[in-house]
C-alpha cells in the first residue's frame, strides 16, 4: 500500500503521473477487499468502480468540480481517495464512516445519497445554481445501469437534456442492479455493447481520442467544435440519450484508466449535456472463483483470501425468508396471488417465490411507484398482488399508494421488510416512518406480526381481506422462534389484538417485535410486585376497540412500544383516540425520537432508542413514580 499511503486527498492523486494510476487502483482494490472482509458492506459495487473513481479524481478537481454519485454504495474507493482512508476500517460501524455518502462526512460528498435515482436531478440542480451564480466548475453525475430503471433518473435527464447547461452523466454499466438488471433499458444497453456497429464506432472514438492528444493546447476550442461535428455525424448507438439531449460517448472499458482519461479529456472539450457510457464488471478482483455477482453486491464479513463468508448462516431464519417461503406456499393455495418486487428479489425473499412461480413474479426494476400502480392495475383484474418493498423505499411510492390503491379500495398487499431500526445501512435506510405514513392512508389496514407464525397468519388474513389494501411490516432481523408449517397456521382474525399477559394499572401495548421486550419488561416488573398487562397490538389500524374497552377500566396508563418514530406513530394515534374515547386513560408512547438515527447494529440502535426490556421497565417505573403533574 506504499503508493496509497501517500494519497491524502485528490490533490496528491492528481499530482501522480498517469502511468502510476493503475498501480494506485490495484492498491485501492486490495484495501477494499481487506477492510470490507472485516466490516461487511457493498463490496461488489465498489470493486467495479475503482478505476473509474481514480480517473474521475484525476480528470476533475473535486471539491471545486462536483462529482455526484447515485446511491453511494459504489463509492468506497471515493472515500478512500478523498481523505478517509484512515477511517475506512470503521465503515458502517457505530461512530464510523457511513456506508453511503453524506455531506457531513466530507466536502467531497456534495450530495448525500443512499436511495437510487437521485444523482441526475441533484447534479443538474448544481449546474443550474452554478450558472445562476455565474460560477465556473464542472458537474458530473455517476449513475449505475440499475438506477437507469428509476423513473427519477429520466425526470432529471428530461429536464437537463435540452437545457444546454454543462453537465456530464457517467453511466456505470455493469449489467447488474442488485440482481441482474431488468427491463427494456437493460436490453437496450446490452444491445449497444454487443452491436458490431458499436465496435466500429468504438474504433472511431479511439481514433478521435488519439488525435485529440495532438491538438490540445491553443487549438482546443476549434478542436472542440470539430469533435462536436464529428460526434453529430457519427451514427450513435446511444440514440436514446441523444434524443434526450445528451451527447453520447462510448461505450468504453471502465477498467482501462488511460482510455477513461482520454475520453474524459475529450468530453471536457465539448459543452452541454453529455453522457459517457462506461462498461464495468461488478465485483472485479473479488477472490471467489466463480463469483455469484448478486451475492457480493453487499456481503457479510468474509475471508479476504478465498472470499468465503466467515459465519456459516445458521440458527433462526430471517423474517425475509419466512415471508418468502410463506408467500410461495400460499400461492399454491390461491392462484390469484402474484408477487412484485422493485429490484430486490433476494432482499425481500421474493426470489424464493420466483423460483417456484416464475410467471407470477414481477421484478419491475428500481421503480417503487410503478410497482405500486402496477399492483393496483392487477388488482382491478381480480388478482391478489403482494408488493414486497423495504419500508424505506416504499416511501417513494406514497402518492401511488394513496391515489392508485387506497382511495380505490383495491386489495393490494404491502409487505414492508426492514421496518424499524435497520442497523448498519444507517439513516438513509431507516424503516422508522412506515407506521406514520401508512396509518394516515385511508382504507389501509396496517399490521405488524410479533413472530413468524403471526406473519403467516396475517398474510392469510390479508389474502382473505378483499375490502382494501393491507400492509404488514417486519424488521431486518431473525424471527424470535422457529415458525410452524404454513399449512398449520390459521388466519389471524381481522382487527384483533392478543392479550399476552394479564395485570392491572399499566398496560404495555406492543407493536410487532416489541412484544418480546415488553413481556421481558413485564417479568422484571412482576419480580418487584408491579403486575402490568401486555397486549400484542398486531393491528395498528383498525385498532381492536373491544380490547381497548376491556382494558380501559382497570388500566389507567397505556404505554405503547413501537420500533418506529414516535411522531404520528401508533402511540400518538392511540393517544388521539383515547383523548375522546377514554379520557381517564393516559397514553405514553415509547419509540424512536424524532431525529436522524446513525448506523450501528440494530441492537445498539434499539438500546439507544430505549426499546429494550430494561429501558421499557425503567420507563414504567419512572412513570409510576412520577404521575402526570408531579414536579
- The active-site residue, picked from 51, 281, 368, 562, is 368
- Residues whose CB falls within 8 Å of the CB of residue 630, separated by 6 or more in sequence, listed in order: none
Question: For residues 84 and 35, what is the distance between their CA atoms, to the nearest angstrom?
Answer: 13
CA angle 185, 150, 341 (to 5 degrees): 95
102 near ligand TPP, judged by CB under 6 A: no
For ligand TPP, which is the closer residue by CB, 146 or 307?
A: 146
Candidate ranges 145-153, 186-194, 239-247, 602-610; the one touching ligand TPP (CB under 6 A): 145-153
The β-bridge relationship of strands 539-541 and 445-447 is antiparallel
146 near ligand TPP, judged by CB under 6 A: yes
Candidate ranges 144-152, 195-203, 460-468, 493-501; the one touching ligand TPP (CB under 6 A): 144-152
Q: Are 37 and 304 in contact (CB under 8 A)?
A: yes
For ligand TPP, which is the closer residue by CB, 351 or 540?
A: 351
368 noted as active-site residue: yes
Q: Which of 85, 174, 262, 320 binds ligand TPP (CB under 6 A)?
A: 174
Residue carrying C-alpha cell 408531579: 630
10 near ligand TPP, judged by CB under 6 A: no
Q: Which of 138, 396, 538, 599 binds ligand TPP (CB under 6 A)?
A: 396
Shortest CB 586 distance to ligand TPP, Å = 40
The span from the first CA to the last CA of the chain, in angstroms, equals: 61
414 near ligand TPP, judged by CB under 6 A: no
Packing angle of the helix pair 184-194, 196-215 (nearest 10 deg): 70
Q: Are 74 and 297 in contact (CB under 8 A)?
A: no
Question: For residues 75 and 543, what is the distance between their CA atoms, to the nearest angstrom?
Answer: 44
Q: How many residues bind ligand TPP (CB under 6 A)?
A: 22
Q: Are 511 and 539 in contact (CB under 8 A)?
A: no
121 near ligand TPP, judged by CB under 6 A: no
Question: For residues 342 and 378, what is the distance between their CA atoms, to the nearest angstrom?
Answer: 16
- The active-site residue, picked from 84, 396, 538, 541, is 396
Please report how many Cα atoms fall inside a 13 Å half-sphere around the Cα of residue 333, on the Cβ side: 11
393 near ligand TPP, judged by CB under 6 A: yes
282 noted as active-site residue: yes
Please provide the DSSP assignment of 589-612 as one string.
EEEE-SS----S-HHHHHHHTT-S
Q: Are 563 and 593 in contact (CB under 8 A)?
A: no
Tell me if the bond preceding 251 is cis, omega within 30° of 0. Answer: yes
Q: Which of 58, 79, 84, 282 binds ligand TPP (CB under 6 A)?
A: 282
Q: Which of 25, 35, 116, 279 binds ligand TPP (CB under 6 A)?
A: 116
Per-residue contact flags (x/-) with ligand TPP for residues 344 to 383, judged by CB under 6 A: x---------------------x-----------------
144 near ligand TPP, judged by CB under 6 A: yes
- The active-site residue, picked from 29, 102, 247, 282, is 282
Active site residues: 282, 368, 396
Q: Which residues bind ligand TPP (CB under 6 A)?
A: 45, 48, 71, 73-74, 115-116, 144-147, 174, 176-178, 282, 297, 343-344, 366, 393, 396
Amino acid at each position: 500500500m506504499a503508493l496509497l499511503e501517500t494519497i491524502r486527498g485528490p490533490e496528491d492523486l492528481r499530482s501522480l503521473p498517469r502511468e502510476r494510476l493503475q498501480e494506485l487502483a490495484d492498491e485501492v482494490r486490495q484495501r477494499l477487499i481487506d477492510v470490507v472482509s472485516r466490516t461487511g458492506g457493498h463490496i461488489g459495487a465498489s470493486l467495479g468502480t475503482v478505476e473509474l473513481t481514480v480517473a474521475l479524481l484525476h480528470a476533475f478537481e473535486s471539491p471545486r468540480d462536483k462529482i455526484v454519485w447515485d446511491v453511494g454504495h459504489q463509492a468506497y474507493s471515493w472515500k478512500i481517495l478523498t481523505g478517509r482512508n484512515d477511517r475506512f476500517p470503521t465503515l458502517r460501524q457505530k461512530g464510523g464512516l457511513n456506508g453511503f455518502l453524506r455531506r457531513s462526512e466530507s466536502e467531497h460528498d456534495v450530495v448525500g445519497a443512499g436511495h437510487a435515482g437521485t444523482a441526475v436531478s441533484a447534479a443538474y440542480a448544481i449546474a443550474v445554481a452554478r450558472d445562476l451564480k455565474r460560477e465556473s466548475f464542472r458537474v458530473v453525475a455517476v449513475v449505475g445501469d440499475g438506477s437507469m430503471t428509476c423513473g427519477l433518473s429520466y425526470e432529471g435527464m428530461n429536464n437537463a437534456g435540452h437545457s444546454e447547461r454543462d453537465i456530464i452523466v457517467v453511466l456505470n454499466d455493469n449489467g447488474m442492479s442488485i440482481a441482474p438488471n431488468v427491463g427494456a433499458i437493460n436490453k437496450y444497453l446490452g444491445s449497444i455493447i454487443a452491436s458490431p456497429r458499436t465496435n466500429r464506432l468504438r474504433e472511431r472514438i479511439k481514433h478521435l481520442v488519439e488525435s485529440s492528444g495532438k491538438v490540445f493546447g491553443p487549438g482546443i476550442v476549434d478542436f472542440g467544435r470539430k469533435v462536436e461535428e464529428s460526434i453529430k455525424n457519427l451514427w450513435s448507438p446511444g440514440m436514446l440519450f441523444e434524443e434526450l439531449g445528451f451527447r453520447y460517448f462510448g461505450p468504453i472499458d471502465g477498467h482501462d484508466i488511460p482510455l477513461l482519461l482520454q475520453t474524459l479529456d475529450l468530453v471536457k472539450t465539448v459543452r452541454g449535456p453529455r453522457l459517457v457510457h462506461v462498461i464495468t464488471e461488478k465485483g472485479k478482483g473479488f477472490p471467489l472463483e466463480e463469483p455469484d455477482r448478486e451475492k457480493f453486491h453487499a456481503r457479510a464479513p468474509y475471508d479476504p483470501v478465498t472470499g468465503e463468508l466467515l459465519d456459516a448462516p445458521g440458527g433462526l431464519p430471517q423474517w425475509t425468508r419466512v415471508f418468502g417461503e410463506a408467500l410461495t406456499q400460499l400461492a399454491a393455495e390461491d392462484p390469484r396471488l402474484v408477487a412484485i418486487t422493485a429490484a430486490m428479489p433476494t432482499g425481500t425473499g421474493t426470489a424464493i417465490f420466483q423460483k417456484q412461480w416464475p410467471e407470477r413474479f414481477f421484478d419491475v426494476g428500481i421503480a417503487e411507484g410503478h410497482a405500486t400502480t402496477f399492483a393496483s392495475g392487477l388488482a382491478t383484474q381480480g388478482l391478489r398482488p403482494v408488493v414486497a418493498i423495504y419500508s424505506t423505499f416504499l416511501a417513494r411510492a406514497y402518492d401511488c399508494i394513496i391515489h392508485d390503491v387506497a382511495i380505490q379500495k383495491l386489495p393490494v398487499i404491502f409487505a414492508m421488510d426492514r421496518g424499524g431500526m435497520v442497523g448498519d445501512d444507517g439513516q438513509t435506510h431507516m424503516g422508522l416512518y412506515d407506521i406514520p405514513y401508512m396509518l394516515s392512508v385511508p382504507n389501509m389496514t396496517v399490521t405488524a406480526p410479533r413472530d413468524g407464525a403471526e406473519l403467516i397468519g396475517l398474510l392469510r388474513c390479508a389474502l382473505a381481506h378483499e375490502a382494501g389494501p393491507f400492509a404488514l411490516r417486519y424488521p431486518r432481523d431473525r424471527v424470535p422462534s422457529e415458525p410452524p408449517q404454513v399449512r398449520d397456521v390459521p388466519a389471524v382474525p381481522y382487527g384483533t389484538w392478543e392479550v399476552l399477559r394479564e395485570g392491572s394499572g399499566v398496560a404495555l401495548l406492543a407493536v410487532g417485535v416489541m412484544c418480546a421486550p415488553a413481556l421481558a419488561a413485564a417479568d422484571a416488573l412482576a419480580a418487584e410486585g408491579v403486575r402490568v398487562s401486555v397486549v400484542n397490538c398486531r393491528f395498528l389500524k383498525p385498532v381492536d376497540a373491544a380490547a381497548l374497552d376491556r382494558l380501559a377500566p382497570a388500566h389507567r396508563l397505556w404505554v405503547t412500544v413501537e420500533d418506529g418514530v414516535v411522531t404520528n406513530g401508533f402511540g400518538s394515534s392511540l393517544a388521539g383516540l383515547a383523548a375522546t374515547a377514554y379520557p381517564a386513560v393516559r397514553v405514553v408512547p415509547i419509540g424512536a425520537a424524532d431525529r436522524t438515527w446513525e448506523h450501528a447494529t440494530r441492537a445498539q440502535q434499539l438500546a439507544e432508542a430505549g426499546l429494550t426490556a430494561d429501558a421499557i421497565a425503567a420507563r414504567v417505573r419512572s412513570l409510576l413514580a412520577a404521575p402526570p403533574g408531579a414536579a
